[in-house]
């Protein structure tokens, strides 16, 4: 039954030494060498060690793949192929042992390869009909996971489906995350909605160097539209809101109180204030991002702007950045009536900025007690009393500038 | 007789459970011509290469140590992101954990402040189901600028070889793992295009991992296989074997496409804008996406706005078309008579998305996935020019695989 346990060289092959058996042996030997390298020189020749590990894994994969693509359904061939899969798993296990503990995600991939190899070995041993049944069950599991991701999204005005939530948490999370299948495919839903920009106001260590505004992203800054859309996606990542209100929101000398006190300097946005006579802002004007992701992303973006030489001052490129103020700006679109009337799509009053805070070069929030923190800072089109209109840019007022990106051009 | 995976479901030869099982077996595993798969590989492989080539302009800004998402933050998310448990009772269970020690309480307080801001103030992190994410990326571990460039070029080379169809099992696997590296390191820069790209590469890799040598149509692997066989046997290789792994992969793509459309269509029904037609306006008049900076586009839109009835018809019609197509496609595409209508409708939808919203990459990825519904005979007909190079296309008289061969 196992007369040819490792298969035989391809007949008439120009390189008779290039057989799955030899490749597998080479893979094992190479990964043993990598283990020895790791023991002898744990912190040196890292690229060499990585190269050796990858070579060993590649040899094993090629050997296994060659067997998988050529085996017949007779028992001996199936057993041989299963043996190759098991051996391949062993070689990958050696690679796992040869890698450093800090390469945790690399080890994750190798661990998965080991598991897949062992499962594959069992599958190959099965008769074809049974194998196909098992494969179909795996397909059901796979699409079950895809559908779990689809139905796990919390509806706009509802509660998450408990069944899919529990399935995702307890069964599918590792699979969907690793395979990058966690998307719900809710494209442009429930509504397409307006896009988001980020405005950075960069202040420098030298007070004589004037601050600089950066509007992000701008179409003209990128060689390809694809890059531009990636950065739009980055801006959108800052829009996930916090549930409820923080503990320091209500009450005297808390966030709401400070906003009320500041209304003379920065008025409430009239379109978001149903009761215009009220001294208290409508709470729809408070838009704190969530702590789990959006706040961290905003801080990281500010940190990057502070450290990237591209955002230094053109007049003083050697002067480091001191702080970065961040505004998250919703760019609402014209109504059909406004477009018919000839209003410019870049009309400043269609922008809805929310102040996200001022950060130092390490991305730490420096103005936790700014009265406008997480509040809408309006840009308004108001009558000038002479039959025309003027733009009141309160972002510029808040930032202490004469202009903001809304009124710069 | 050739079998096309895009054919409508065949009626079972015999009724009952056995008939159903045979139909399922034929649906997923009946060997088929690999021309469709080959075309998908070329289209998807080229797109994937282009997408990752574009990263070259912003490599360090996206994947370096001080990238937009810093190395520290992405590591924190990977290791500490909170995963709460599901409640198995109507009321949350009271914690039965012992009170933490002083040192433990400090750690818990730090974690609570860092991650649990939206939870109750006394939320106990020990009650979380899990922390962290199961993601991998070479960019978590390679941060030196020189090596970032080297690894990036290596991945690009693999993607190029995959698009060309050379050593496809290995280059496909490396391309997929490479693609995961980019999206996981810069998670805020991905959008719909990347999720579809992953689906394509994943299923293509699966198909080629198990395909018999020489069955991959429109590939350098096939050219090399024919060359080697000619040298070994002295004669032109006779035809080509059909491949059941191609059928399997095509079916997975088709099912996944249907799920994408159905999820997208049904979720749109949650929004009032899709019921009243304003959703199309929200895409067409979005300054960040639409070509409003182009005078002709802007003027056309402004003209439409000055003719309200026409505006309403266009917007409502567009919304209705989108919903009808996305919700109807998964059910109607399997009918032979309606399949071409569905395919053309999908082409129109994605062409519209590309033109109106500028999402060309996303549209092309969806169209590459849509190719899975095109029969191999149609692909051969479309590539009639390629038949002058017979090595690129499996022989016209396809021969079944030898008896006992693994399928």
- What is the 3-class SS of B104-134, one letter each residue? HHHHHHHHHHHHCCCCCCCCCHHHCCEECCC
Interface ipTM above 0.90:
yes
Q: What is the DSSP letter of B290?
A: S
Residues of A in contact with B121 (CB under 8 A): 247
Q: How many CB atoms lie within 10 A of CB B339?
A: 19
Indicate which of B82, B142, B263, B276 best probes the interface with A, i.e. most A CBs within 10 Å of its own CB.
B263
Please provide residue B406's backbone torsions phi and psi, each rounded to the nearest 5 degrees. Answer: -70, 135
Q: What is the pLDDT of residue A408?
A: 78
From A339's Cα to the closest Cα of chain B, the distance in A is 6
For residue B170, give the nearest of A62, A193, A336 by CB distance: A62
Pick B303 or A41 by higher pLDDT: B303
Nearest alpha-carbon partner for A266 in A391, A377, A368:
A377
Asked if pLDDT for residue B43 goes beyond 80, the answer is yes
Q: What is the pLDDT of residue B14?
A: 62
By the 8 A CB rule, do A292 and B82 touch?
yes
Q: With CB atoms and an 8 Å threshold, state whether A189 touches B267.
A: yes
Percent of chain A with pLDDT over 90: 76
Q: With CB atoms and an 8 Å threshold, state whether B188 touches A297.
A: yes
From B288's Cα to the closest Cα of chain A, the distance in A is 6
Residues of B in contact with A132 (CB under 8 A): 25, 28-29
Average pLDDT over residues B34-48: 95
Determine contact: B282 vs chain A, CB below 8 A: yes
Q: With CB atoms and an 8 Å threshold, state whether B283 touches A192.
A: yes
Determine contact: B298 vs chain A, CB below 8 A: yes
Q: How confident is the model at residue A2 (pLDDT cuts 50, 70, 90)?
A: very low
In this structure, what token pair is assigned to residue A60? 């094993």
Q: How confident is the model at residue A95 (pLDDT cuts 50, 70, 90)?
A: very high
Asked if pLDDT for residue A12 goes beyond 50, the answer is no
Determine contact: B46 vs chain A, CB below 8 A: no
Q: What is the pLDDT of residue B229?
A: 86
Decide: helix, strand or coil at residue A363.
coil
Determine contact: B18 vs chain A, CB below 8 A: no
In this structure, what token pair is assigned to residue A13? 């092959």
Strands B82-83 and A379-383: what pairing? Answer: unpaired
Q: Which residue does chain B place closest to A175, by CA atoms?
A: B134
The Cα-based distances of A81 to A71, A124, A226 in angstroms read: 7, 7, 44
Q: What is the pLDDT of residue B280?
A: 95
Q: What is the pLDDT of residue B120?
A: 80
Asked if pLDDT for residue B405 goes beyond 80, the answer is no
Q: With CB atoms and an 8 Å threshold, state whether A227 touches B287.
A: no
Residue A32 to residue A91: CA distance in whole angstroms: 9
Cα dihedral sign for B383, B388, B392, B398? positive
From B126's Cα to the closest Cα of chain A, the distance in A is 16
Residues of A in contact with B85 (CB under 8 A): 169
Nearest alpha-carbon partner for B25 in A185, A130, A392, A168:
A130
Q: What is the pLDDT of residue A269?
A: 96
Average pLDDT over residues B200-211: 93
Pick A279 or A2 by higher pLDDT: A279
The Cα-based distances of B37 to A6, B218, B361 in angstroms read: 32, 9, 20
Q: With CB atoms and an 8 Å threshold, state whether B358 touches A229.
A: yes
Percent of chain A with pLDDT over 70: 96
Q: Number of Cβ pairs closer than 8 Å across A and B?
A: 258
Q: What is the pLDDT of residue B401?
A: 37
Cβ neighbours for A288, distance < 8 A, ≥ 6 positions apart = A241, A242, A245, A246, A374
Least confident of A23-27, A36-40, B238-242: B238-242
Q: Which residue does chain A place closest to B167, by CA atoms?
A: A62
Q: What is the pLDDT of residue B18?
A: 87
For residue B406, give the nearest of A71, A232, A295 by CB distance: A71
Q: With CB atoms and an 8 Å threshold, state whether B86 touches A190.
A: no
Query: How many residues does this entry show for chain B?
Result: 407
Q: With CB atoms and an 8 Å threshold, state whether A105 touches B140.
A: yes
Cβ neighbours for A326, distance < 8 A, ≥ 6 positions apart = A198, A199, A200, A298, A301, A302, A355, A356, A357, A358, A359
**What pTM did the predictor assign?**
0.91
Q: What is the DSSP letter of B7?
A: S
Nearest alpha-carbon partner for A364 in A293, A295, A288:
A295
Q: What is the pLDDT of residue A5?
A: 37
Q: With CB atoms and an 8 Å threshold, state whether B282 touches A301.
A: no
Pick B103 or A16 by higher pLDDT: B103
From B383's Cα to the closest Cα of chain A, the distance in A is 27
Q: What is the DSSP letter of B215?
A: -
Q: What is the pLDDT of residue B238?
A: 63
Decide: helix, strand or coil at residue B338.
helix
Residues of A in contact with B306 (CB under 8 A): 340
For residue B285, give the nearest of A146, A296, A334 by CB distance: A334
Q: What is the pLDDT of residue B10?
A: 52
B 73-102 residues with CB < 8 A to A: 73, 76-78, 81-86
Q: With CB atoms and an 8 Å threshold, state whether B406 touches A247.
A: no
Q: How confident is the model at residue A223 (pLDDT cuts 50, 70, 90)?
A: confident
Average pLDDT over residues A244-264: 93
Cβ neighbours for B20, distance < 8 A, ≥ 6 positions apart = B12
> Which H/E stretch holds residue B83?
strand B82-83
Nearest alpha-carbon partner for B311 in B289, B287, B293, B284:
B284
In this structure, what token pair is assigned to residue B360? 């060309």
Please report how many Cα atoms fall inside a 13 Å half-sphere around the Cα of residue A147, on the Cβ side: 11
Determine contact: B8 vs chain A, CB below 8 A: no
Average pLDDT over residues B362-369: 96
Q: What is the pLDDT of residue B13?
A: 55
Determine contact: B20 vs chain A, CB below 8 A: no
Q: What is the pLDDT of residue A185?
A: 93
Q: What is the pLDDT of residue A71?
A: 78
Residues of A in contact with B127 (CB under 8 A): none
SS3 string, A162-225, reads HHHHHHHHHHHHHHHHHHCCCCCCCCCCCCCCCEEEEEEEEEECCCCCCCEEEEECCHHHCCCH
Q: How confident is the model at residue B3 (pLDDT cuts 50, 70, 90)?
A: very low
Q: With CB atoms and an 8 Å threshold, state whether A143 touches B210.
A: no
Determine contact: B175 vs chain A, CB below 8 A: no
Determine contact: B166 vs chain A, CB below 8 A: no
Determine contact: B275 vs chain A, CB below 8 A: no
Asked if pLDDT for residue B235 goes beyond 80, the answer is no
Average pLDDT over residues A357-380: 95
The tens digit of pLDDT for each residue in B84-126 reads 999 888 887 777 888 889 888 999 999 998 998 878 878 889 9
For residue A184, give the nearest of B173, B263, B302 by CB distance: B263
Average pLDDT over residues B211-217: 82
Q: What is the pLDDT of residue A42?
A: 83
Q: How many CB atoms lie within 10 A of CB A35?
A: 18
Asked if pLDDT for residue B302 goes beyond 80, the answer is yes
Please provide residue A388's backbone torsions phi and psi, each rounded to the nearest 5 degrees. Answer: -115, -165
Average pLDDT over residues A15-31: 87
Determine contact: B281 vs chain A, CB below 8 A: yes
From A264's Cα to the closest Cα of chain B, the distance in A is 31
Q: With CB atoms and an 8 Å threshold, state whether B305 touches A340.
A: yes
Q: How many helices (H) and strands (E) does chain B have?
A: 17, 2
On average, the pLDDT of chain B sits at 88
Q: What is the pLDDT of residue A288?
A: 95
Q: What is the pLDDT of residue B213?
A: 77
SS3 string, A26-91, reads HHHHHHHHHHHHHHHCCCCCHHHHHHHHHHHHHHHHHHHHHHHHHCECCHHHHHHHHHHHHHHHHH
Determine contact: B135 vs chain A, CB below 8 A: yes
Q: What is the pLDDT of residue B240?
A: 63
DSSP letter for each residue of A233-301: HHHHTT-PBPSS--TTSSSTTSHHHHHHHTTTTSPPPGGG-SSTT-SSPPGGGB-PBPTTTHHHHHHHH
Residue B219 to residue B287: CA distance in whole angstroms: 42
Determine contact: B296 vs chain A, CB below 8 A: no
Residues of B in contact with A197 (CB under 8 A): 288
Asked if pLDDT for residue B196 goes beyond 80, the answer is yes
The tens digit of pLDDT for each residue in B241-292 reads 588 999 999 999 999 999 999 999 999 999 999 999 899 999 999 999 998 9
Buried b (16+ CB within 10 A) or exposed e, B35-67: bbbbbbbbbbbbbbbebbebbeebbebbbbebb
Strands A379-383 and A351-360: what pairing? Answer: unpaired
Q: With CB atoms and an 8 Å threshold, state whether B260 touches A296.
A: no
């Amino acid at each position: 039954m196992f007369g040819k346990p490792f298969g035989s060289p391809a007949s008439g092959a120009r390189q008779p030494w290039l057989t799955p058996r030899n490749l597998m042996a080479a893979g094992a030997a190479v990964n043993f060498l990598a283990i020895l390298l790791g023991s002898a020189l744990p912190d040196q020749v890292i690229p060499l060690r990585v190269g050796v590990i990858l070579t060993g894994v590649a040899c094993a994969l090629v050997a296994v793949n060659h067997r998988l693509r050529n085996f017949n359904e007779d028992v001996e061939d199936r057993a041989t192929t299963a043996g190759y899969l098991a051996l391949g798993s062993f070689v990958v296990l050696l690679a796992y042992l040869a890698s450093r503990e800090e390469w945790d995600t690399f080890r994750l991939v190798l661990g998965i390869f080991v598991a897949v190899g062992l499962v594959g070995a069992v599958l190959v041993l099965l008769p074809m009909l049974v194998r196909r049944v098992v494969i179909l069950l795996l397909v059901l599991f796979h699409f079950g996971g895809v559908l779990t991701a689809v139905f796990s999204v919390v509806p706009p005005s509802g509660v998450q489906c408990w069944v899919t939530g529990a399935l995702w948490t307890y069964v599918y999370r590792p699979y969907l995350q690793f395979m990058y299948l966690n998307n719900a495919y809710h494209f442009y839903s429930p509504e397409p909605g307006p896009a988001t920009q980020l405005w950075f106001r960069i202040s420098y260590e030298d007070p004589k160097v004037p601050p600089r505004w950066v509007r992000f992203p701008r179409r003209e800054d990128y060689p390809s539209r694809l890059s531009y859309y990636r950065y739009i996606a980055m801006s959108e990542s800052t829009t996930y809101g916090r549930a409820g209100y923080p503990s320091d929101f209500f009450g005297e000398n808390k966030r709401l109180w400070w906003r009320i006190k500041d209304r003379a300097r920065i008025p409430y946005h009239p379109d978001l204030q149903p009761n215009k006579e009220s001294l208290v802002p409508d709470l729809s004007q408070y838009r704190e991002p969530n702590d789990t992701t959006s706040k961290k992303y905003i801080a990281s973006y500010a940190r990057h702007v502070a450290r990237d030489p591209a955002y230094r001052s053109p007049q003083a490129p050697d002067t480091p950045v001191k702080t970065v103020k961040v505004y998250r700006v919703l760019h609402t679109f014209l109504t059909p009536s406004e477009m018919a009337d000839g209003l410019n799509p870049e009309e400043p009053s269609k922008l809805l900025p929310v102040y996200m805070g001022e950060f130092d070069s390490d991305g730490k929030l420096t103005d936790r007690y700014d009265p406008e923190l997480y509040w809408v800072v309006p840009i308004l089109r108001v009558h000038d009393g002479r039959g025309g209109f003027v733009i009141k840019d309160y972002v510029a007022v808040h930032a202490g500038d004469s202009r903001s990106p809304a009124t710069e051009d | 007789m050739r079998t096309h995976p895009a054919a409508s479901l065949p009626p079972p030869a015999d009724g009952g459970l056995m008939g159903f099982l045979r139909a399922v077996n034929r649906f997923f595993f009946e060997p088929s011509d690999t021309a469709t798969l080959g075309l998908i590989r070329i289209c998807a492989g080229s797109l994937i290469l282009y997408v990752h080539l574009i990263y070259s302009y912003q490599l360090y800004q996206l994947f370096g140590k001080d990238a937009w998402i810093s190395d520290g933050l992405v590591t924190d998310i990977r290791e500490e992101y909170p995963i709460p448990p599901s409640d198995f009772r109507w009321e949350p269970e009271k914690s039965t954990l012992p009170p933490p020690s002083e040192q433990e309480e400090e750690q818990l307080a730090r974690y609570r402040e860092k991650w649990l801001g939206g939870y109750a103030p006394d939320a106990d992190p020990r009650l979380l189901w899990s922390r962290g994410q199961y993601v991998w990326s070479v960019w978590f571990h390679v941060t030196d600028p020189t090596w970032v460039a080297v690894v990036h070029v290596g991945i690009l080379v693999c993607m190029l070889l995959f698009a060309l169809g050379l050593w496809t099992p290995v280059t496909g696997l490396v391309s997929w793992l490479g693609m995961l590296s980019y999206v996981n390191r810069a998670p805020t820069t991905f959008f719909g295009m990347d999720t579809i790209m992953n689906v394509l590469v994943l299923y293509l890799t699966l198909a080629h991992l198990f395909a018999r040598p020489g069955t991959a149509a429109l590939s350098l692997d096939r050219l090399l296989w024919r060359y080697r066989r000619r040298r070994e046997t002295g004669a032109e290789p006779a035809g080509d074997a059909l491949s059941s792994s191609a059928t399997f992969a095509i079916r997975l793509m088709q099912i996944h496409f249907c799920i994408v459309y159905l999820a997208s269509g049904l979720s749109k029904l949650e929004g009032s804008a899709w019921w009243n037609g304003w959703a199309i306006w929200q895409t067409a008049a979005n300054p960040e996406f639409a070509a409003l900076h182009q005078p002709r586009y802007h003027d056309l839109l402004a003209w439409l706005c000055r003719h309200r009835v026409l505006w309403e018809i266009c917007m409502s019609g567009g919304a209705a078309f989108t919903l009808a197509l996305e919700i109807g496609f998964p059910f109607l595409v399997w009918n032979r008579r309606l399949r071409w209508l569905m395919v053309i409708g999908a082409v129109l939808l994605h062409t519209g998305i590309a033109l109106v919203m500028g999402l060309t990459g996303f549209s092309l990825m969806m169209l590459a996935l849509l190719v899975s519904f095109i029969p191999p005979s149609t692909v051969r007909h479309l590539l009639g020019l390629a038949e002058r190079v017979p090595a690129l296309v499996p022989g016209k008289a396809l021969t079944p695989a030898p008896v006992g061969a693994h399928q």
